[in-house]
Each structure stands twice: as C-alpha cells, then as structure tokens.
Structure 1
Amino acid sequence: MIHDWLQQHTLFTGDSRILLLAGIAALCIGLSKSGLSGTATLNVVLMAQAFGAKASVGLVLPLLIVADFMGYYLNRHGGSWRRILPMAPPAIAGVIAGYFLLDTIDNTTARTVIGWLIIGLLGFKLLLDASKGTLEVLTSHRLFSWAMGLCAGVTTMLANAAGPVMTVYLLSQRLEKKEHLGTFSRFFLFINLFKVPFSADLGIINPRSLMTNLVLLPAVVLGILLGWQILKRIPQKPFEWTLFVMTLIAAAWLIHG
C-alpha cells in the first residue's frame, strides 16, 4: 500500500536503493544546516544519483528552506543580518545568472567547476593563514565580498552547492563559532527563499517533488538536531579544521562524483 502510494504521488520508484540514497542525503541536509557545511555537497551528489541532476536541484530546495528556518532558530543568538548585506547583491546576481545557465550547462561540468573553485578557495584560506595577517586586508575589501557572493549565488542555483563557498568566506573572516553559525544560517535562509520562484519557473518544484519532500522531512529534522549536538561539543579551533576538512572532501566528491 505505502509502496503504491510512493510511486503514484512522489518521485520514488520501486527501487529501494533510491529511497536509501535520498534518506541519507536528507540527513546530510540537516547536518549541513546545523553548521557542518561540508556535508551539503554529499547531499548534492546523492540526490543527483537518486533523481537526476536537474530534478534534484528543485527537489532539495524546499528541504533546505525548512532546515534553514530550523538553523536560524537554533543559531539566532549569533551573527546578524548586517553581516550578509555585503554579499546579498552579488549573490542575487549569481542566482539570476545560474537560472539562465541551468538549462544550458552540463551538470557534470558544473560540478567539476564548482569543486575546483572550492579547492582554490580553500588554498586561498591556507595562504591567508600562512601570511600572518599581511594578506588579511584582502578579505575586508568590497571586491572580495562581491566575488564570494557571486560564486555563492551561481553555485547555489546550479547545484545547491554554495555551502562550502560560504564556509570558506566566513573562515576567512575569522569569526567566532557562534557568529559563524548565525551568519551562515541567515545567508542561506535569505538566498534559498529568493531562489524559489526561479526553480518553480523551471518546473523543478512541482506537486510530486513537494510530496517527496514530505517523505524526506523527518530525516532532515533528525540531521539538524544531531549536527547541533555535535557542534555544541566542538571547540573553536577543531571546529574550523573540521569544516575545512569536510569541505575539502566534499569538493573532491563533487569533482569525481
């Protein structure tokens, strides 16, 4: 009975492997929105394998928004809306550019480009740390914020893969963990809500995808609560290196996934 309902009203087929992949991906969405942003790219790869690259972009967006609201509530005492203002205009421009690219660019190419971009940004972060402050002035320049905002906008529209981009940006700002998580959750709540009409216009948010979201929502909630408990127990420096390593792994998965 449940099996028949899933086939009639959702994007699930009779293949139980697809349900398993999607469930793990939904758990990763929750983990990423709690602040373990490297897991966001894992959900991109798993959802693309389960439902196809383009369909998965629209399928994931409502789950991300629910998780964004939860993440914002959990991290509401850290960060501020003022911190995302420098990145908002270029991020909006990036979403619009990604909207036009989504129908033309091959998804494998997009994932490869995004993966290498993230690795390049991680290298830039290491260079900043090694410079002992001499290059830090670059990260406070408006051009840096605009470049990172544009990257985040394009990557989030093409593959919902802007988490690692935003992580590198915030790590370069050397924020305390509480400020990092609060700013991260605010930015993605804003940008993912902005993406909804574009995704609906492309037809990748539809009644069947929304019913699929309902099935996967408990795994998202479980992931964000689990991630929140993990992050409460990680001190600042291990927190930064955990994000760095997870982001690097996620970028490599994007390139080779």
Structure 2
Amino acid sequence: MPELLPWAWAALGIAAITIGISKTALPGGSILAIALFAAVLPARTSTAAMLLLLMVGDVFALIAYRRHAHWLTLLRLAPAVVAGLLAGFAFLALAGDGIVRRAIGVILLLMIGVTLWRRRRQDRADAAPPGSGGLLLAGAYGTLGGFTTMVANAGGPVMSMYFLATRTPVQVFLGTSAWFFAIINLVKVPFLAGLGLFPPPVLLMDAVLAPLVVGGALAGIRLAKRLDQRLFDRIVIALTVAGAAYLLL
C-alpha cells in the first residue's frame, strides 16, 4: 500500500466518490478526480490507478443506462477512437507529464469553443436526431477522445462535448457514454500493463477506494433523475472548462 499522508487519502477518497458520480450522472465530472489523483500520485501512476476505479464505475453506468445507448454513434466513432488510442499510447510513452497535461488542456478548450459556436448556430427546435453528427465531426472528436483517454483518462470531457454538439438527450447521452467508456477502458488495460503501471501497491490502494466509487455511482443514479437537459448541459460545460484550466496550469 502506498505510504500517504491523511490529507492525501482524503483527496483520493473524494476523487473516488467523484468518479462514481461522474459515471452515472455527470459525464466529464471525472476531471476533478483526475486533478486530485495527479496532485497526490505521480502522473503515470495516477492514470493507471484511476483506470481501475473508472472500470468499477463503468459497471454501475451500464446497469443503469445500458438500454439507452445509440449504437450507430458508437460505430461511427470507433475508427477514429482506435487511431486516437494508438497515438495517445505513443505520446504517453515518449512525452513528459507537463507536456501531456498542457496539450490536453488546449484540446479541451478548443472543443468547448467549437461546441459553443455550433450551438449558437443551431436552434434547439431544429436539432438533428441523437447521434446524427457527420463523419468529420465524429472523426475529430473520436480521435481526440481516444488520445486524451489514453494519456490521462481525460476522454470524458472531450466526448461530452461531442454528445452536446450532436444535441444528445440526457438518457441517450449517459447510455452511449456508458458503453463507450466501458469498452475503451477495457482496451486500455493491456497498454498500461505493458508499461508496468499496475504494481501490487496500486492494486491494493484501488481495492480500498473501490467501495467509495460504488457509493458515488449509486448517488449519481438518483441525482441524474432530477437534472433537466439545460442544467445538465451547463454543468458538463462548466466542469470541462474547470478541468481544462487545471490542466493548463
């Protein structure tokens, strides 16, 4: 077990609860957990430790929203996401932590800008059906989502921007996100294991934190039922802006 001070364990506990809530109620909210893990653990270790806890949250997200996924969207995203994962793996193996964090921060801010610009040009009443974004849009967001999720588990905000850009309703948003990240996180395990990022101390630490993820996920399911579409969109955008600012600083 890593030797951490009490404040560090408290920060990791808050991060674990946040992971659970983000999986079942606020996609993109895990950016807070990324910040807390990175503040306590070395960057590469924090990426691996978070991945296992995210997978615990994936189970509850699938239980709650598995029937609401838009599979055409997932298929449209798949080729670009695979390319992004491979690019992210190469970048993670070669680049320093500071460069990685700043690159992701810039990407997130660009995605926010593009999404808000698109939303100003469209009236919600004339929005396209869920998941109807074109191949170019899916390719851009999919590549960036695969890249950022590989290097820092930060794909949530990028994909949230994609789902917001395509005017996806809350339940479909959550269902499609649940399947997307459940699949992607499984794919990432052998890559990070190949870099030796799952030593026994990390596994023991995650075993201690996993029950907090479960508690957060159950609380998130109840929270999601009370969120309307407009409030949901605003929270996701605000969390993404905060995460991007943190990564740049």
> Aligned pair in 2 of structure 1 residues 210, 87: CA closer, same or farther (>3 Å)?
same
Residue 252 of structure 1 corresponds to 245
Residue 94 of structure 1 corresponds to 84
What letter is aligned with 1:205? F
| Structure 2 Cα separation of the partners of residues 194 and 111 of structure 1 | 22
Q: Deviations over 1:3-54 (max 9, x none)?
A: xxxxxxx2x2141122111111111111211131232111111111111101
Q: CA deviation at 1:187?
A: 0.4
| Structure 2 Cα separation of the partners of residues 149 and 183 of structure 1 | 13
Residue 22 of structure 1 corresponds to 12
**Matching residue within 151, 167, 172 for 1:158:** 151
Q: Deviations over 1:102-137 (max 9, x none)?
A: 12212122111111211111111111111136xx89
Contiguous gaps of at least 5 residues in structure 2: none
Q: CA deviation at 1:60?
A: 1.0
Residue 55 of structure 2 corresponds to 65
| Structure 2 Cα separation of the partners of residues 250 and 31 of structure 1 | 16
Tell me the TM-score normalised to structure 2 length: 0.92
Q: CA deviation at 1:96?
A: 1.5
Residue 214 of structure 2 corresponds to 221
| Structure 1 Cα separation of the partners of residues 4 and 86 of structure 2 | 36
Contiguous gaps of at least 5 residues in structure 1: 1-9
What letter is aligned with 1:126? L
Maintained 8 Å contact 2:49/2:202: yes
SS in 1 for 2:168: coil
SS in 1 for 2:66: coil
Residue 5 of structure 1 corresponds to none
Greater displacement, 179-188 / 242-251: 242-251
| Structure 1 Cα separation of the partners of residues 189 and 72 of structure 2 | 23
| Structure 1 Cα separation of the partners of residues 139 and 120 of structure 2 | 24
| Structure 1 Cα separation of the partners of residues 215 and 60 of structure 2 | 11
Maintained 8 Å contact 1:148/1:166: yes
SS in 1 for 2:76: coil
Equivalence map 1:1-257=2 (5 Å): 10=1, 12-132=2-122, 140-256=133-249
RMSD: 1.8
Q: CA deviation at 1:233?
A: 0.4
What letter is aligned with 1:229? R
What letter is aligned with 1:156? T
Residue 7 of structure 1 corresponds to none
Tell me the TM-score normalised to structure 1 length: 0.90
User: How many equivalent residue pairs?
Assistant: 244
User: Where in structure 1 do 4 or more consecutive aligned residues deviate above 3 Å?
Assistant: none
